Amino acid sequence: MSTVAPLLRLDGLTKCYGAVTALDGLTIDIPPGRVGVVGANGAGKTTLFRIVLGLARPTAGSVEVHGASVAVDPIAVRSRLGYMPEHECLPLDQTAADVVATLGEIGGLPARAARQRASDVLDLVGLDEARFRPISGFSTGMRQRAKLAQALVGDPQLVLLDEPTAGLDPAGRDEMLTLVARLGTFGISVLMSTHLLDDVQQVCDHVLMIDGGRLVVAGPTDSLLERTGVVTVDVGDPHDAEHLRAELTRRGMTAEIVDDVVEVAVNGDEALDRVRDTVAELGLPLYRLGSRLTSLDEVFLRQATSR
Amino acid sequence: MTTTATAGAVYDRGYRPYDGPRGGRNAARYALYRASIRRALGIRRSWRQKVAPFVLLGIVTIPAIITVGVAYITRDQVNRQFQIITYREYVGVSSALLLFVALTAPDIICPDRRQHVLPLLFARPLTGIDYMLAKVGALFSILFLFSFLPQVVLFVGQALVSDSALDYTLDNLDVLWMVPVAVAVLAFYYASIGIAIASLCNRRIVAGASLIGLFLVSSVTSAVLVGDIEGEATGSAAALLDILVIPLYLRDVIFLGVQSSDSQLRGVENGGFYAYVVYVVVVATAFGVLLRRYRWTER
């Protein structure tokens, strides 16, 4: 997947629960950075996280985190990991500051340092003013932030985020994704599981798609997004967009309006020049002209169905 | 025109990495132990959570205060060779202590499971065994403290109101090891059982009721089998079925070397040894339950 030292190395990783195979021979090197683990519900994402944390033993195969084998020394591996589960997991009758500080201490920090870092990370996730309130009074978004804070309090090398945007409204989701995107700038690698491909497309450098416990496709996010032969033309005003679409159609091109931007099928640079010239001749402002890429949804569906 | 900024400024402090010392399993276990003690004593919780532990401490200290008070009032009387309560008798099982175990053991175990906190704990350098030891250790420490402190009050008070504190201490030197050992035996027993029973339940009230129910059933069963032995020289081995009072038989061995005259095991051959065996079996069973309950974290 990359030439840099892998963050995670999965080698023939298999996990069976009785007759059910949750993971089926996953072999891949995952580089540092923000990595999205994508798959439908039941694809094996949470099982993969549990194995990385040493909370479940693989039926076969092995996992290494930063070169350390999870099977050999799970305690050492866990001491440098942060984990944000998908489900509710915070003690409701304690304040966020207490919970995060206590979990920091259990993570190995001295008491004073744990309280200081709890304050810092709660500030970082936007809970500075709410940190002395009981978690039972928190909204879903605040609880998700508190969960992220407890994952960060030990200054991990890698955080495992299990569906971090689950249950959030659009604004909360954007804020959470912004926080996740910032983690990369702090030198913290992220392994984020989700079934929302848009989330991965928005914040992750690399993608690991699994389906039914098997690897579907993996690679840098950009490399998975293919050109579609369609360019999007954003001229700002919807009326101007309609005017442009009509003119392009009159000139024999295939154009349609999608989300207030014009999408035009092009088959070469000459067609692209004609689109540009048309915009100029109509005297319209040109805010954006670019190739439309396939979405990760399309990549996932195509790869999953072709297996 | 030059303006001076007078309004507050917002600073993004960003993220500061931590490069200080880190502990391993021992630190994790100790941190969980301290957190459990804080929770049990209601520290950093609402005042309602502080009521039970400190009311209990008050209740169990009352006999010591009364004994010392009576000794002080009667200090000038010639024949004052009486004690309201002895050190041996003070190592006992009060209803308040049982109620405290039934309230506290579930409180430091059940929410972790019910509120799904366990994955957060076990995602850190902590094993199921560490978790178990931290929880049992926390309850043991509190029970030991709450049983030992009144004894300290009793001893210090008696020494101070005696004619000579030094002579009193020298005369009662054996108490200085008997009391902590007997109290530790008692506290460890109830901590093990309390945590084991609580680990089987998700709801605190169910765990508390189960604990009291277990003690009641074993006491009633034992009482029925033992029957009326009032005034008889020999008790009954069936008294060993009453798991509530097993530590008291060991207490008698520690203080007296034999079973006391008010023990239901009095006169039973090797009664103290059998009590010791039952103690070990009960504690081992409790730890077996805990190991089974938390070993999933090692899979």
CATH code, domain carrying A13: 3.40.50.300
Distances (CA, A) of B196 to A283, B201, B214: 79, 9, 12
Q: What pLDDT is attached to residue B3?
A: 47
- pLDDT of A195 reads 80
Chain B interface disruption, residue of A77, A106, A158, most B CBs within 10 A: A106
In chain B, the residue whose alpha carbon lies closest to the alpha carbon of A108 is B23
Pair type for strands A34-38 and A206-211: parallel
Residues A85 and A117 in one domain: yes
H or E element that contains A144: helix A140-152
Whether chain A has a CB inside 8 Å of the CB on B257: the answer is no
The band of A171, judged by pLDDT with boundaries at 50, 70 and 90, is confident
Q: Which of B134, B146, B152, B149 is nearest to B37 (CA)?
A: B134
CB–CB of B119 and A85 under 8 A?
yes
Question: Which of A221, A240, A263 is at the close of a domain?
Answer: A221
CATH of the domain at A273: 3.30.70.790
Q: Assign residue B93 a region (left: φ > 0; alpha: ψ between -120 and 50; beta: otherwise).
A: beta
Are both A245 and A124 inside the same structural domain? no
**Under 8 Å between Cβ of A240 and A284:** yes
Mean pLDDT of B191-208: 95
Nearest Cα of chain B lies from the Cα of A21 at a distance, in angstroms, of 16
Asked if residue A146 and residue A63 are part of one domain, the reply reads yes
For residue A75, which residues of chain B lie inside 8 Å, CB to CB?
24-25, 125, 127
A113 and A194 in one domain?
yes
A5 secondary structure, DSSP code: P
Q: What is the pLDDT of residues A143-161, one digit of tens each?
A: 999 999 999 999 999 999 9
Q: What is the pLDDT of residue B1?
A: 44
Report the C-alpha gap between A19 and A85 in whole angstroms. Answer: 26
Chosen domain end from A221, A243, A266: A221
Per-residue model confidence (pLDDT) at position A303? 65
Q: Is B27 on the interface with A (CB under 8 A)?
A: yes
Residue A72, domain member (yes or no): yes
Q: What is the mean pLDDT of residues B46-67?
A: 86
- B-chain residues near A56 (CB < 8 A): 299
| Average pLDDT estimate for B272-288 | 95
Q: What ipTM, to 2 d.p.?
A: 0.85
Residue A245 and residue A212 share a domain: no
Is the domain of A49 the same as that of A84?
yes
Cβ–Cβ contact B35 with A under 8 A: yes
Query: Which residues in B lie closer than 8 A to residue A144 (C-beta atoms)?
Result: none
Domain around A156: 8-221
Span B216-230, mean pLDDT?
85
Which residue is associated with the tokens 């809970």? Answer: A127
**Which residue would you say has higher pLDDT here, A3 or A171?**
A171
The percent of residues above 90 in pLDDT, for chain B, comes to 52
Answer yes or no: is pLDDT of A210 > 50.
yes
Same domain, A238 and A206: no
pTM for this entry:
0.82
Total number of domains constituting chain A: 2
The string of pLDDT tens digits covering residues A87-140 is 899 999 899 999 999 999 999 999 999 999 999 999 999 998 899 999 999 999
Cα A68 from Cα A55, distance rounded (Å): 16
Which B residues, 120 through 149, put their C-beta within 8 Å of a C-beta on chain A?
A: 120-127
Residues A180 and A235 in one domain: no
Work out the minimum CA distance from B133 to partner chain A, whole angstroms.
Answer: 14
For chain B, give the mean pLDDT: 87
The verdict on a CB contact (< 8 Å) between A75 and B125 is yes
- Using an 8 Å CB-CB cutoff, list residues of chain A that contact chain B: 53, 55-57, 75-76, 78-79, 81-83, 85, 87-95, 98, 102-103, 105-111, 113, 117, 120, 123-124, 150, 154-155, 182, 186-187
Q: What is the pLDDT of residue B2?
A: 46
CA distance B213 to chain A (A): 28
Does residue A3 fall inside a structural domain?
Answer: no
Let me know whether A37 and A166 are in one domain: yes
In a domain, A256, yes or no: yes
Is the model's pLDDT at B80 over the cut of 80? no
Comparing A163-172, B91-100, B237-246, which segment has the lowest mean pLDDT? B91-100
- Give the pLDDT band (50/70/90) at residue B8: low
Instruction: Among A201, A221, A241, give the residue marking a domain's end.
Output: A221
The reply to whether A159 and A182 lie within a common domain is yes
Residues in chain A within 8 Å Cβ distance of B116? 85, 87-89
Quick check: A194 pLDDT over 60? yes
Interface touch A154/B119, C-beta < 8 Å? no
| Domain shared by A107 and A124, yes or no | yes
Residues A17-63: tens digit of each pLDDT:
888 888 998 999 989 999 999 887 778 888 999 999 988 889 999 99
Span A149-178, average pLDDT: 91
Q: In this predicted structure, what is the pLDDT of residue B264? A: 81
pLDDT at B10 over 70: no
For B162-244, where are the alpha helices, taking DSSP H only?
Answer: 165-171, 175-199, 204-226
Is residue A142, in this structure, part of any structural domain at all? yes
Per-residue pLDDT at A263 exceeds 50: yes
* Pair (A55, A136) in one structural domain: yes
